[in-house]
Structure 1
């Protein structure tokens, strides 16, 4: 379940604002309300009808004396609203009522005292009834509007500020500034916008690495191509100057053309390994592939009297890997040939295929007795054309192809210098049961 942190922040902020507004309105009403005077609506609907009816009955049955007694019995805050007016008959048979002051509401009734005198019993109360928006009094409307403006402003700032950072970051990225990073600008935010900034930084970092890798690859490829082309030009120039040496020059040209062809083939393999989205759906025996590669490389190791020992430690008879067997064969072969290249005369290369008990995976270890490489070069050796010891030799594209092939099979590849001398490369590949 995705944690909607931004949603909860907005919800908590809204509830806090609502609580603050409601308490503020209650405080304002409490402070502005006349504590000795009930509200006009209470006087009009609750107090006036009962008081007028009681005063009318008292006047009708007991006359002015009983009316005055009732009037004195009323609370002072109620008594000041009650009044008695003599009544006169109108032409239409109704009683003439005294005029009502402006912004005053009244509730009255006509009655006759025992002596025959007619009276109007009147209960008056303030009734300004100003024009209100949505029928809300200003004491409620104004704090609500003010709190809404403050809440909306803070929310807009809270959301717009990081969005503006994102917009400027995308603009910088579009202009080619791949070093832009947004997460430091987000401060201590821990919500979806901060996650988006983190994803943006990861994207920018990957783009920067891809562009740098492309530029470095182009530089290294141009350097690798320039050397054989220069030797071809030199061989052709020597053939023109010394026709008797044309056979030797043509042999050199053929050798350099073969090197160029091999380099172009490795570049195509590297490009294919980088661009393919998946290795494939074939199942193959990785132990058998490794054994086949070892047998082929042993022929090349015989002139240098280098021993290649293969050991297997398998819990299953056939550890199957899902992917492309030819691509993995090329990866293992490249690592093994690199070990052969740096092994000393009459050295030993150990190749081990094992299945660790903790996971469904196969571990291929290739260890040599060579000089190893500087510690600062270990992490970069799987990049194209990284220089080895003394910067006099390059790993070329072989290890880069091996790294991409292993990653394409959802595996990992790592290298380290051995404590007792030499170098070791480990490839871990997930194994899968055969499905039909």
Structure 2
């Protein structure tokens, strides 16, 4: 016996199903028998038919042979009968005063016929019926045969055991899956072990696989983030350590070293701040109850971006319609205006960072009334992104192929994606045919006034 079956036998649920369905099956069999006994016509045993019809014919035929051919003719006919039938027929001279009678009389369990032989002798033929009787078998209530009781007991146990095993096996697999997951094995999957099952337990196993896959992805992303954070912190910390060493070796370079310490400290502060923002996006944004105007928020960010883009010779074009002038009314978004502003700033600043001098960054916000959503597009005329990196630029600490341009840690677009998704939207990147990159953000309407 396999281990799952042994575990099932020891389980309390197995015994509940076994005895519950076993008793039910037994009661069904017994109830069916009682119903048959109460409402159906009683069967007529085959021996009863022999007593009523065949045995009288047998005695009458023996008397006819005796009357026509005498005792020798009767003996020849009886010799062809089976041994048990020959033993049941008795022939003797009739008592004094007996007369031939063509009728077959019955006295208790004996059939009697008087026949006249050709020589004038009256013979008595008798057929004993007691050997044909089958003794009644002992039975339970309502004359229930022991076979029926045994069928109910054995059938109920077999049926309920098979049903209990069928139901318990997937539950045991689920339990082992949870145990494996609790032990750290996030790669455990239960769907293949369910085979061709198409019931609620199979659905539960598939839901378990989905949960395990998401948990495995979350843990992998956490580990990857911790690795990337430690890598990003190592460089500024190493430079800080070197600056302290230079001060000790050359006390006259204190001023230069302090400037380096201040710069590296600022970089660390920026990195920690972006990490905190990323954490806030994942934990706080969905629970915020603020409502804000996306169109006005984007217009404000564009105004700040124009101020920043001026020294680099980059033009920022805006195609943002104020929400108040929209035909559909003031369409608001529920969530965190602060985090959404940070996300939009990161997208526009990313476009500014990779735009050449004299380039143009276009920002537009449209309304898709059929789909009930806002569509934000940011287009630049920079070098674009290799096609194989379009899906990964939104991951933390991922930089483009020309990542040395400008300063940053590759967290801006990751923050933007997490913020947009926390607000029920989506963000995607695509290379433009004319050159450059286009970021598209879609956000659902929250309410219409």
Question: What residue is the counterpart of 2:371 in the other structure?
Answer: 359
Whether 1:329 and 2:337 are equivalent positions in the alignment is no
Question: What residue is the counterpart of 2:286 in the other structure?
Answer: 278
How has the CA–CA distance of structure 1 residues 70 and 362 changed in structure 2, closer, same or farther, with 3 Å as cutoff?
Answer: farther
Q: Following the alignment from structure 2 to structure 1, what is the Cα–Cα distance between the partners of residues 402 and 108?
A: 108
Question: What residue is the counterpart of 2:360 in the other structure?
Answer: 348
Q: Which of 329, 339, 350 pairs up with 1:338? A: 350
Q: Following the alignment from structure 1 to structure 2, what is the Cα–Cα distance between the partners of residues 226 and 270?
A: 20
Q: Which of 200, 214, 221 pairs up with 1:206? A: 214
**Aligned with 1:389: secondary structure?**
coil
Q: Give the unaligned 5+ runs of structure 1.
A: 1-12, 44-64, 73-78, 85-123
What are the within-5 Å matches in structure 2 for residues 190-339 of structure 1? 190-276=198-284, 278-312=286-320, 315-316=327-328, 318-339=330-351
**Aligned with 1:419: secondary structure?**
coil
- Cα deviation, 1:74-113, whole Å, max 9, x if unaligned, reads xxxxx797569xxxxxxxxxxxxxxxxxxxxxxxxxxxxx
| Superposed displacement of residue 423, structure 1 | 1.6
Q: Which of 391, 400, 411 pairs up with 1:397? A: 411
- Cα deviation, 1:289-326, whole Å, max 9, x if unaligned, reads 00101111122211221111111365445331112111
Q: Contact 1:283–1:434 (CA<8 Å) still a contact in 2?
A: no
Q: Which of 438, 443, 446 pairs up with 1:424? A: 438
How has the CA–CA distance of structure 1 residues 274 and 125 changed in structure 2, closer, same or farther, with 3 Å as cutoff?
Answer: same
Q: Give the unaligned 5+ runs of structure 2.
A: 1-20, 38-42, 53-97, 112-131
**Aligned with 2:310: secondary structure?**
helix
Q: Contact 1:284–1:320 (CA<8 Å) still a contact in 2?
A: yes
Q: Which of 425, 433, 442 pairs up with 1:411? A: 425
Q: Following the alignment from structure 2 to structure 1, what is the Cα–Cα distance between the partners of residues 103 and 425?
A: 100
Q: Contact 1:411–1:429 (CA<8 Å) still a contact in 2?
A: yes
What are the within-5 Å matches in structure 2 for residues 54-203 of structure 1? 128=136, 130-132=138-140, 136-203=144-211
Q: Following the alignment from structure 1 to structure 2, what is the Cα–Cα distance between the partners of residues 395 and 70?
A: 122
How has the CA–CA distance of structure 1 residues 267 and 133 changed in structure 2, closer, same or farther, with 3 Å as cutoff?
Answer: farther
Q: Following the alignment from structure 2 to structure 1, what is the Cα–Cα distance between the partners of residues 190 and 319?
A: 50
Whether 1:36 and 2:46 are equivalent positions in the alignment is yes
Question: What residue is the counterpart of 2:60 in the other structure?
Answer: none
- Cα deviation, 1:141-184, whole Å, max 9, x if unaligned, reads 33333432332232123212212221221121111011111112
Number of equivalent positions: 343
Q: TM-score, normalised by structure 1?
A: 0.69
Query: Considering only aligned residues, what root-mean-square deviation do their CA atoms show, in Å?
Result: 3.6
Q: With a CA cutoff of 8 Å and minimum separation of 6, indicate the structure with the bigger relative contact order.
A: 2
**Aligned with 2:177: secondary structure?**
helix
- Cα deviation, 1:114-158, whole Å, max 9, x if unaligned, reads xxxxxxxxxx97663514378632343333334323322321232
How has the CA–CA distance of structure 1 residues 396 and 126 changed in structure 2, closer, same or farther, with 3 Å as cutoff?
Answer: same
Question: What residue is the counterpart of 1:98 in the other structure?
Answer: none
